[in-house]
Structure 1
């Protein structure tokens, strides 16, 4: 039997010399109403039909999937059913969130075998009850050998610390450490994934760095300082004070006085932050850069955004893939360059000669 617009068909015959029936032709594909009604009601069946679509476009909205499926099967289906099907298809494509935590240590061991000299540390919390053989993930730290050696070889002694939040069912943060290369570009060289935001650790960054690197200078991102000021004082002209951009202490003093006349309360709040952390006039002469913002490091957060809502191993591999691509792009620029200096340094030197 073959219904209109349905390719399903079976052709059988029975030879005269036997009582058995033989299938000659079989097209086992249904598009008839009965088949669609039975199969499309099952979200697992829907998931098998959207796996390739999820692979090519992981961020496709549920509404768009729902419209495509309605056109394909010519029948209505609920948004919740499509949502469940998408979640199942994503699990098939990217892996299971919970199971990937269970094999995280094996992943770390394999990564160190493939990249000798790579540093990986995994911290877990063990249940106090010895009858339960359960460990809870806390954090993982990864520093690839190639990036570590590159940083030690020819980079400025300037690093930035930043983080971005995970978006999956398990909350957490991706922390990145980014340097500045000789061409004044970003150089991400180590990263970590922690279970959630730890305010106590956040407050302990400055004393920890001061203990490990007593000669290091700590700077705050000017944009974050300004955002904190805006929450209390809505004056848009606050950002035009220009105190931070002064290169000399005399100019700084004049600018800070103008800021006090403009808004005394914001002035009193600002001077509580040591100027050595945010004003160029108070930077030591050992400083390798006059960067005041963390825009360079926000670039990394934007590049790894595609892995923030994925299982942990997929997320870590997503970051590694970005780092490998960046290394190749930088090497391509190096191969195209001529002369002993980097392109940005050459341009700056040419401007100074004019």
Structure 2
């Protein structure tokens, strides 16, 4: 029988202690707080923060009456607790799920749940404060970069992590995960395959030289002639290639070349078609033919193109050992789009976002490759089907063995040697088995910062000295004249 009194041996009756419910903190913006008599809190601070949220939810204010060691009292009053810090604390979970949540959406969410109207500037400040709570202050993360590097090496054996600093100030950080070293920048399905990534102050000759030296150590100097690099002709990068890899194939992006020429005044569809015709020329004869066409359009631009080595921008002069004949570096542009979320984050949060994106990408590709039943990769099958339709316009004349003359009504005659594979078809690079092997290695998961190996360095790394430029900070890269703006639904595949 339930009774408020109990008998103890050798003692008189005593009153049983009542059990009160304990408060469980809620940080979700949509959670409705309910306070009842007898609710127990861990400490006065937790009670005050909860009472503040409860007051905002119910549109009233309060004034503390008096405080005791185990009890706080307050009187009802008008509402004034909807501050920026309050909004930041209540929106942490929302920003954890969606970092790009706009201030307008935050404003609507607060109004919908609390019927409190915030100014846009207050919502912007609340967003900035919530992200700082999630990520920590930017400068503090630099002090833990060594611990993060040790954690990467511990949970992903065989990875490469290097940090370069000037005295105690951070300058650059290089990361190449062990799983990413198994292939090149394009996989067997012609998809992007990041090998390494780095953070630096600016793209200069020194930073590119530092990055490429470490990258060459990872991929091997002895196979220098087997690698093909493509860039947009940045001065620092071009000089770094000349110093470190004079024997490697270095191509220029034809799209960037065309944009630069357009800015110099060389425009028009006729010039564009001739330029791309020279870039796609399968042999030197056609290459010279298109140069003559360009010469007829403008002698100055023809002289400019003749000064550039054809090995850097025309397909006929590419290395025969190369497995790729691409003329564009849109793979790098896709990677930049893929990194938009990480670029605005503090350094360690940025690195972790990239690592997690790579881990999720490897898992997605691994599952897709395992379920594929085709012998050849899906994208390559589509290319072959497209080539089959275009092949109807070709007429083949057998010569001897596996050599053929191929005629086309709108193109010059070509000679195809199937035994030597001079057409580039039939390479094992595009088989599904090669695709599966690319994503066989795992990017292992990591524990959080509290479990990273402790670094005992007496000189912790400090953030780089800021170099503030005039005007408003630019977050969006300036696009070329012929580039289209990608919408938010664009994804790297």
- Secondary structure of 2:163's aligned partner: strand
Q: In the aligned structure 1, how far is the partner of 2:368 from the partner of 2:116? A: 54
- Is the counterpart of residue 108 in structure 1 residue 146 in structure 2? no
Q: In the aligned structure 2, how far is the partner of 1:51 from the partner of 1:183? A: 39
Deviation of 1:340 after TM superposition, in Å, equals 6.2
Aligned residue for 1:219?
251
- Secondary structure of 1:192's aligned partner: strand
- Is the counterpart of residue 97 in structure 1 residue 130 in structure 2? no
Q: Is the 8 A contact 1:125 1:137 kept in 2?
A: yes
Deviation of 1:94 after TM superposition, in Å, equals 2.8
Aligned residue for 1:19?
none
| 1:255-308, Cα deviation, whole Å (9 max, x unpaired) | 111112223333333333222100112223233221000122322222222111
Q: Which of 172, 190, 196 is equivalent to 1:190?
A: 196
Would you say how many aligned residue pairs link Structure 1 and Structure 2? 299
Q: Which moved more, 1:79-88 or 1:110-119?
A: 79-88
Pair 1:348–1:231, CA change in 2 (3 A): closer
Deviation of 1:250 after TM superposition, in Å, equals 1.1
Aligned residue for 1:84?
125
- Is the counterpart of residue 246 in structure 1 residue 281 in structure 2? yes
* TM-score normalized by the length of structure 1: 0.74
Aligned residue for 2:241?
209
Aligned residue for 1:120?
161
More helix by percentage:
1
Q: Which of 324, 327, 342 is equivalent to 1:289?
A: 324
Deviation of 1:221 after TM superposition, in Å, equals 0.8
Deviation of 1:146 after TM superposition, in Å, equals 1.7
| 1:53-110, Cα deviation, whole Å (9 max, x unpaired) | 2222221222332343345444443322222211111112233211111111111011
Q: Is the 8 A contact 1:304 1:322 kept in 2?
A: no
- Secondary structure of 2:324's aligned partner: coil
- Is the counterpart of residue 312 in structure 1 residue 353 in structure 2? no
Q: In the aligned structure 2, how far is the partner of 1:76 from the partner of 1:137? A: 42
Deviation of 1:336 after TM superposition, in Å, equals 2.7
Pair 1:45–1:333, CA change in 2 (3 A): closer
Q: Is the 8 A contact 2:189 2:378 kept in 1?
A: yes
Pair 1:324–1:7, CA change in 2 (3 A): closer
Pair 1:72–1:344, CA change in 2 (3 A): closer
Aligned residue for 1:229?
261
Q: Which of 28, 32, 49 is equivalent to 2:59?
A: 32
Q: In the aligned structure 1, how far is the partner of 2:242 from the partner of 2:170? A: 28
Q: Which moved more, 1:52-61 or 1:244-253?
A: 52-61
- Secondary structure of 1:268's aligned partner: helix
> Considering only CA atoms, is the larger Rg found in Structure 1 or Structure 2?
2
Q: Is the 8 A contact 1:226 1:239 kept in 2?
A: yes
- Structure 2: which 5+ residue stretches go unaligned? 1-31, 39-49, 63-77, 209-233, 393-493
Pair 1:337–1:82, CA change in 2 (3 A): closer
Q: In the aligned structure 1, how far is the partner of 2:268 from the partner of 2:293? A: 16
Q: Which of 161, 166, 170 is equivalent to 1:137?
A: 170
Q: In the aligned structure 2, how far is the partner of 1:8 from the partner of 1:144? A: 48
Q: In the aligned structure 2, how far is the partner of 1:138 from the partner of 1:258? A: 48
* TM-score normalized by the length of structure 2: 0.55
Q: In the aligned structure 2, how far is the partner of 1:307 from the partner of 1:204? A: 24
Pair 1:333–1:10, CA change in 2 (3 A): closer
Deviation of 1:8 after TM superposition, in Å, equals 8.1
Q: Which moved more, 1:91-100 or 1:205-214?
A: 205-214
- Secondary structure of 1:180's aligned partner: coil
Q: In the aligned structure 1, how far is the partner of 2:34 from the partner of 2:197? A: 54
Pair 1:338–1:98, CA change in 2 (3 A): same
Aligned residue for 2:365?
330
Q: Is the 8 A contact 1:233 1:266 kept in 2?
A: no
Q: Which moved more, 1:241-250 or 1:210-219?
A: 210-219
Q: In the aligned structure 2, how far is the partner of 1:252 from the partner of 1:92? A: 59
- Structure 1: which 5+ residue stretches go unaligned? 1-5, 13-26, 127-134, 156-178
